[in-house]
Amino acid sequence: MSYNNDRTSSASGDDTMQDPSAGALFNVNYKKHEDLKNMLDQNKDSLKLEAMKRIIGMVARGKNASMLFPAVVKNVACKNIEVKKLVYVYLERYAEEQQDLALLSISTFQRGLKDSNQMIRASALRVLSSIRVPIIVPIMLLAIKEGVNDMCPFVRKTAAHAIPKLYSLDSDQKENLIEIIDKMLGDRTTLVAGSVVMAFEEVCPDRIDLIHRHFRKLCSLLVDVDEWGQISIISMLTRYARTQFLNPNEHENVNDDDDEDKPFYDEDDDEEDEDSDEEKAKNKRPKYIMDPDHRMLLKSTRSLLQSRNAAVVMAVSQLYYHVAPKSEFNTVVKGLIRLLRGRREVQFIVLQNIASISLKRKSVFGPYLKSFYVRSTDPTHVRVLKLEVLTNLATESNIAVILREFQTYVRSSDKQFVAHTIQAIARCATNITEVTDTCLSGLVNLLSNRDESVVAESVVVIKKLLQMNPSQHCDIIKEMSKLLDQIQVPMARASILWLIGEYCEIVPKLAPDVLRKAAKQFTSQEEIVKLQIINLAAKLYLTNSKQTKLITQYVLQLAKYDQNYDIRDRARFIRHLIMPAGESGDVGNFRKSAKKILLAAKPAPVLESQFKGRDVYQIGSLSHALNTEVSGYHPLPDFPVEKPDPSVRNVEVPKVVDIEPAKIAGRKSSSKKSKKKAKSSFYSDEDEESEEEEEEEVEDESEEESEEESDEESDDDDDEEDEDSSETEGPDSRISESDVGVTSPKQLTMSQNSEKTSDEEEESSEEEDSSEEETSSSEEEESSEEEEVVVVSKKKKKEKKQQEVNLLDLDDFMGGSPAYTAPPIPVVNLLTPTITSDLAGLSFGGSSANSTGGGDGTNATASSGMMSFVQTTGMNLKQESFPLLHRVTGEGLEVKYKFVREVFKPNDKMVAVELEFINNHTNPIREISIGDKKLHGGLVVHDFQEIEILEPEESVTAIMGVDFADTTQSLAFELRTKTRKFNVSIKPPVGELVIPWSVPQTEFLKSKASLAGMNENKSKLKMSANECTMKEIAERVYQVANLCRVPSTENNIHRFAGKTAHNSSPLLVTFVMTSLENGEGELSVNCDKMVIGSIIFKQLKDKLGS
């Protein structure tokens, strides 16, 4: 009683418990979150920030915070940036639910669109597009247009995301949105590209004409776009390719390796005639030539097969399946197999697509058969799909291995998996006739299994197999009839009864006894079993009426009063069919008709894959996974019959007047007066001549001033050459980063062929700009500077070699200076003051200095060789030249190329390639330039300026820049003259893809420690004792790769460093002399680009150990 009294007294003090019907479940606390509301009403930003953090935490945990909307929306105009960001995050979540309150803050959102903070602008646009009220559609449209023109890519990306929201709210704005999408498709920012394509797919997926101008740009940007943007772009480009390119497999269907088609052709009576007709038709077919843009699409997506995102790999796979030639689909197989090591959900989707693909192209997955073996940790749904793939891949050569694997699966404790395994064995038996008897005998052995479900599934499968050749398997039918008393699974019992009834003439003595036993248990059987008992009785009545007439009448009488109407209807139908009432003649006719109906020959069932027919849906789509067309699915269009016009993808570049090439040509001995005459002849009587000349001079002056700031160490030479340039109005040796390898007049020997008027040079520069605009990436297209052409005659090659050192701009260090007492640092721009001070007390080994002689100048040269910076190794190494075009193939034009180790100033990601053109013909060759380029895998090219004329027995050198994207792929392009075109290719040595990296020893060791494991290649070497000098080792390393020697505190350790030109990935080489007497050492190469690292390691190992 005391407990009850206490409880009552305590409860009486609580106001909420005064009502006896009130409980905790229905108690409403109106003061909930009151503390948060009070904090949001305070003037202190710190309290508001703390409250917003707690509210966002509630939202993140899935709790409902909508009751705080009025208190939060009041702070949308808060001046604190952090509070405003969190308020916008909250409003994005609840703006659609609280539309009326959100509308009150429209003006605040519009002000947020003009905020100086990019995150606020993007958040305001996102919240504004989340308010689903038709009345603000014009405001949303204006906000999107402002966001499209925003300087920040993140805001433009948000604007692209808002386009589908506006379209779903008001579809009448489609035309306005299409204009916005068309404008945004020209955005070259990788952050925006994927979002714009998503908007395109939602609003106007059928407007393929909008993609033409941006197709090549999207292909080049694809590698750098975010993962989900890559998926959208690949999906869109797949549909684009199906409408703009011809079917690459159109003429390969005759040679399809589908096993199901082979017997058809083998059994054809008119095989020879058909073969001859096929050969004639094949000869008449036009030869398929893949469109360069089609090839560009396939090459640009191939590298994405290594993506960590399974959806990206799946998107590339479906692209290759639907668009690429069948012979190239092998490229994506490894990527799909790699995904099988992922999570269960990923395995399920990938296996579904592989099961569908393997029905058509089983040969591509044949080498990876073991990847589809079932593991003990696989869930049931993954096991079933692996069984499906293994069955699809079964051929005469591998069926023995697959059946042995199936024998193991039958013993599994997973009953569902065992049932699917038995069905898979049956499919193998029907598809490969050579193993039908083997599979059948194995299934019969399963009839003695203790597990009833295994026996039942075996019976069902055997019933289907026996229909193929029942007369040869009479013993199996008798054996199965004995199991009728043991098996209780309805489907298995029904299958046995059907077999005995269908082939009752094969077992005439056994069938009546089976009917007798079945009739006794008729009332207790399942519906499917009752139907088969009725069928068995009817068939035996027609074949053996003397023994089974009474039993049949008994069965039909029981069925007449069964509770199931299907069984009653079947019994009535059978009774009137086999026991008609009427005259004897009519009865005989009915009896004959009944035999034709009930005892007609049934075709053997075809065991097909459940994935057959799914290829009508796009691989990797939701419709393919569900085997039904879902909302929003767009079927792939068919390939066009005739090739569409490829010129629609050509981008017309506006002609821009550029006088810089004329000035480059004017670096010959031409004077200022001759240049002015040339300009006047070009512009004729136009009034804008003086204005354009002044603009170009202002640009040149600004470029020279910027270069002065970067080259502080070479001011003396620059001042001297500035005086010369003031007299000749030609550019001096101080060149900006936008110039392309331009050298000073004293370093060039120009021939008479370059004395051309400036109007011709303007045309060539415009043509060069347009060709670059079509094929280069976003970074390359932004730079419009020209490449210089260095014209050298054969007689003056020696003079150029003597002056080649001037290209380093080392006049302050090498020319006429006193001897160096300390170890010199020959290249100024690559060593920081810190590194210089660190190197001041280091010795680079005496062997190198001794080997070069005793002079100070030779010591300086040797030290320069040890450092091996950008443009020279200092070891007087001669770069190897490679033939690009033979003089016979080029009809007198011979072209060689070599990789010069110098900085390519327009783009530091490019390597400089020097082309040497030699005219071995008796006639001059005109208009030498680069034509069409096959740029795949991120390759970017900066063309050299067109060579107007090349006289007989004359040679010309030109510099071009190539960004190989840190790959070993060749650059294929077209070399044009005025009359001919030649297809040539440049294969880069891996060592030339590296640029020197000046780094102190401590940072070298730190970088090396981070590149251990798979990024390291290590091996022991043995050299002769006289080759173990530092100079010999450095020279051999320089021959392999363009590296920089790292100063070392240990005399027996030699370190070299470099970075890949494209991604600046470190390449570190370490050679440790473990035994100087025996010439034993250890070589290690560290690089996160494993392909480049392993190739350079092998080359260094061969070079040092040779």
pLDDT in tens, 893-938: 999 998 888 888 888 888 889 999 999 888 899 889 998 888 877 8
Q: Which whole number is the average pLDDT over 877-881?
A: 78
Average pLDDT of the chain to the nearest whole number: 74
Is 32 strand, coil or helix? coil
Task: Read off the pLDDT of each residue in 214-237 and give the average, rounded to a whole number.
Answer: 93
Q: For position 191, what pLDDT does the model report?
A: 92
For residue 25, what pLDDT is reported? Answer: 45
Q: Indicate if the pLDDT at residue 869 is higher than 80.
A: no
pLDDT band at 227 (very low <50, low <70, confident <90, very high): very high
Which burial class, exposed, middle or buried, applies to 979 when counting CB atoms under 10 A from its CB (0-12, 13-18, 19+)?
Answer: exposed
Which pair of structure tokens corresponds to residue 269?
């009576």
* CA of residue 999 relative to chain centroid, distance: 34
d(CA 555, CA 96): 68
* Among the listed residues 352, 358, 215, the one whose alpha carbon sits nearest the alpha carbon of residue 295: 215
One-letter amino acid identity for 118?
Q
CA pair distance 823, 845, nearest whole angstrom: 11
Burial readout 525-536 (b: 16 or more C-beta within 10 A, e: otherwise): beeebbbbbbbb
Please provide the DSSP assignment of 770-794 as one string.
Answer: HHHHHHS-HHHHH--PPBPEEE--G
Hey, what are 851's tokens? 């080997």
Strand partners, 994: 1060
Mean pLDDT value across residues 386-397: 90
**Confidence bin at 311 (pLDDT 50/70/90):** very high
Amino acid at 94: Y
Q: How far apart are CA 212 and CA 222, in angstroms?
A: 16
Q: DSSP readout, 444-467?
A: HHGGG-S-HHHHHHHHHHHHHHHT
Task: At 94, list the tokens.
Answer: 């609840």
In sign, the C-alpha dihedral spanning 14, 17, 19, 22 is: positive
Neighbours of 82 (CB within 10 A): 14
Task: Please tell me which of 16-30, 617-631, 719-733 the model is most confident about, judged by mean pLDDT.
Answer: 617-631
pLDDT in tens, 120-177: 899 889 888 888 888 888 899 999 999 999 899 999 999 999 999 999 988 899 999 9
- Measured in whole angstroms, the distance separating CA 197 from the mean position of its chain's CA atoms is 16
Q: Bridge partners of 402? A: none
Tell me the pLDDT tens digit for each residue of 696-718: 443 444 444 444 444 444 444 44
Q: At residue 871, does pLDDT exceed 70?
A: no
Band (pLDDT 50/70/90 cuts) for residue 756 is very low
> Rounded to whole angstroms, how far apart are CA atoms 522 and 307?
62
What pLDDT does 691 receive?
43
Report helix, strand or coil for 342.
Answer: coil
Give the end-to-end CA distance of the chain in Å, rounded to a whole number: 103
Percent of the chain that is helix, strand, coil (3-state, to 5): 60, 10, 30
Pairing status of strand 981-986 against strand 955-963: unpaired
d(CA 876, CA 73): 73
Band of pLDDT at residue 196, cut at 50, 70 and 90: very high
DSSP string of 390-401? HHHT--TTTHHH
* Exposed/middle/buried for residue 722 (C-beta within 10 Å: 0-12, 13-18, 19+): middle
Nearest one of 141, 91, 220 to 940, comparing CA atoms: 220
Longest dimension (CA), the chain: 136
Q: Which residue has the tokens 């920089």?
A: 1044
| pTM for this model (two decimals) | 0.54
Question: What confidence score (pLDDT) does residue 167 get?
Answer: 93
271 Cα distance to chain centroid: 44
Both tokens of 721, joined, read: 């050459």
Q: How far is CA 306 from the centre of its chain?
A: 7
User: Is residue 237 scored above 90 in pLDDT?
Assistant: yes
Q: Does the structure show a pLDDT above 60 at 226?
A: yes
Q: What percent of the chain has pLDDT over 90?
A: 18
pLDDT of residue 968: 83
List Cα–Cα distances, 498 to 175, 179, 493, in angstroms.
65, 67, 9
SS (H, E, C) 419-445: HHHHHHHHHHHHHCHHHHHHHHHHHHH
Residue 679 has pLDDT above 60, yes or no: no
User: Alpha-carbon distance 396 to 393, whole Å?
Assistant: 10
Write the CA distances from 671 to 678, 812, 938, integer angstroms: 11, 29, 43
pLDDT value at position 792? Answer: 38
Taking the C-alpha atoms of residue 975 and residue 897, their distance in angstroms, rounded to an integer, is 13
The token duo for 304 is 């994405």
Token pair, residue 63, equals 């709790």
In terms of pLDDT, which residue wins out, 232 or 437?
232
Residue pLDDT, tens place only, 811-838:
333 333 333 333 444 443 444 444 444 4
3-class SS of residue 661: helix
Q: Report the run of H or E that residue 884 belongs to, with start and end.
A: strand 882-885
Q: Could you tell me if 485 and 517 are in contact, meaning their C-beta atoms sit under 8 angstroms apart?
A: yes
Query: No. of H helices and E strands in the chain?
Result: 47, 16
Is the separation of the CB atoms in 889 and 899 below 8 Å? Answer: no
Q: Which of 257, 261, 237 is nearest to 249 (CA)?
A: 257
Tens of pLDDT, residues 3-48: 444 444 333 344 444 444 444 444 444 556 788 888 888 888 888 8
Q: Give exposure, 342-355, as e/b (b: 16+ Cβ within 10 Å).
A: eeeebbebbbbbbb
Listed in sequence order, the residues at least 6 apart from 976 whose beta carbon sits closer than 8 Å to its beta carbon are 927, 928, 929, 930, 931, 982
Contact 134, 170 (CB under 8 A): yes
Count of C-beta atoms within a 10 Å radius of residue 149: 10
- CA angle, 1083 then 1034 then 898, to 5°: 105
β-bridge partners, 779: none
